[in-house]
Amino acid sequence: MSRTISFKYDYPYCGYGENARYGNQWSASRTTLNGCYTYPMVFNNTVPGCSHIKIEVEVENTGSGTVFNRSWDFMVYRQSYGWVDIHTFTMPSDGLYTIDCDIPNYNITQFAVVPSSNPGSSRTWSSWFGVEQLTISESVTTTDLLAGEFLYGVFPNRYGLTKYPSEAFVNIGGTLTKAKDVLVNVNGTLIPLPKVYSGYFKSPSEQMKVYEFTPSETANYMITQKRISGDHEIRLYDSNFNPISNGYFYSQAFALTGGSLYYISVTHYYYAAESESWLQIYKP
């Protein structure tokens, strides 16, 4: 049964640009932080429940003095509260630093990296930032998996016999009707073909569906998709939202534990056009 959960995951498209939901761009407006003029980075949408962030920072001196070997602050703009100092560090002498820190589940709209105090008019700089990790908690209503839309068994095709998920139709009164259950005669015994758990997803632009799956027994399961158009990426998580898959996939087998809860996300790749697919789960 579908339910609303707080789904914690690493947002996959967190880099610079205007297309991704939680991508980021330079602000068009200058602000003053720690007595320094700066242009913050603005997220395309409010980032919900941010608990961790990793950012590559590159700073270059542009004045007669240096801003290296000084104290700097990493700050975020917490929605409805304002700027909050998250992390203080000493800028190395090469101007390169990796921010890799936790954030207390704030909803954030901007971030900035500036000296902890105004270094003086002779010390100016340029900055570059690359967000590499953005761990967020997003309110998601899970989608129920269907059983019976596809069946898994041995079917004939032009090349002979193959084993794959398929839809079965029967002619009833001149009308082709989808069969939800198919029985096959094996040595005089009628045996039902295994059902495939499936979920349909059609999306015009970047969005995500999350399915819950609890296998009935410990076994290898194939998690795959029947692609119709576009680009839907699949990711697998355990019940604590720890990723099991190494990044996204389109078709992969996993050893799953019976009775354990798993989450499966299907995400519309942010650069793709309208996308349509069926998620399919079965024991090969």
CA atoms within 13 A on the CB side of 62: 8
Tell me the pLDDT tens digit for each residue of 235-271.
Answer: 999 999 999 999 999 999 999 999 999 999 999 999 9
* Alpha-carbon gap, residue 139 to 6, rounded angstroms: 5
Indicate which CATH number applies to the domain containing 31.
2.60.120
* Alpha-carbon gap, residue 51 to 48, rounded angstroms: 9
Tokens 């190494």, residue located: 246
* pLDDT score of 277 more than 70: yes
Q: Of 79, 103, 138, which marks where a domain is finished?
A: 138
Structure tokens at 26: 């330079």
pTM of this prediction? 0.88
Domain-located, residue 228: yes
* pLDDT score of 59 more than 70: yes
Domain-located, residue 2: no
* Alpha-carbon gap, residue 227 to 247, rounded angstroms: 19
Domain-located, residue 44: yes
Average pLDDT of the chain is 92
Q: Are 144 and 264 in contact (CB under 8 A)?
A: no
Q: Of 112, 138, 164, which marks where a domain is finished?
A: 138
Looking at the structure, tell me whether residues 26 and 129 fall in a common domain: yes
- The pLDDT value given to residue 41: 98
The tally of domains found in the chain comes to: 2
Tell me the pLDDT tens digit for each residue of 5-17.
Answer: 999 999 999 999 9
Quickly count: other Cβ atoms within 10 Å of residue 202's Cβ.
13
Mean pLDDT in residue range 126-134 = 97
Q: 197 lies in which domain range?
A: 146-282
Q: Of 104, 138, 172, which marks where a domain is finished?
A: 138
* Alpha-carbon gap, residue 92 to 74, rounded angstroms: 15
Tell me the pLDDT tens digit for each residue of 135-159.
Answer: 999 999 999 999 878 877 655 555 5
Looking at the structure, tell me whether residues 151 and 113 fall in a common domain: no
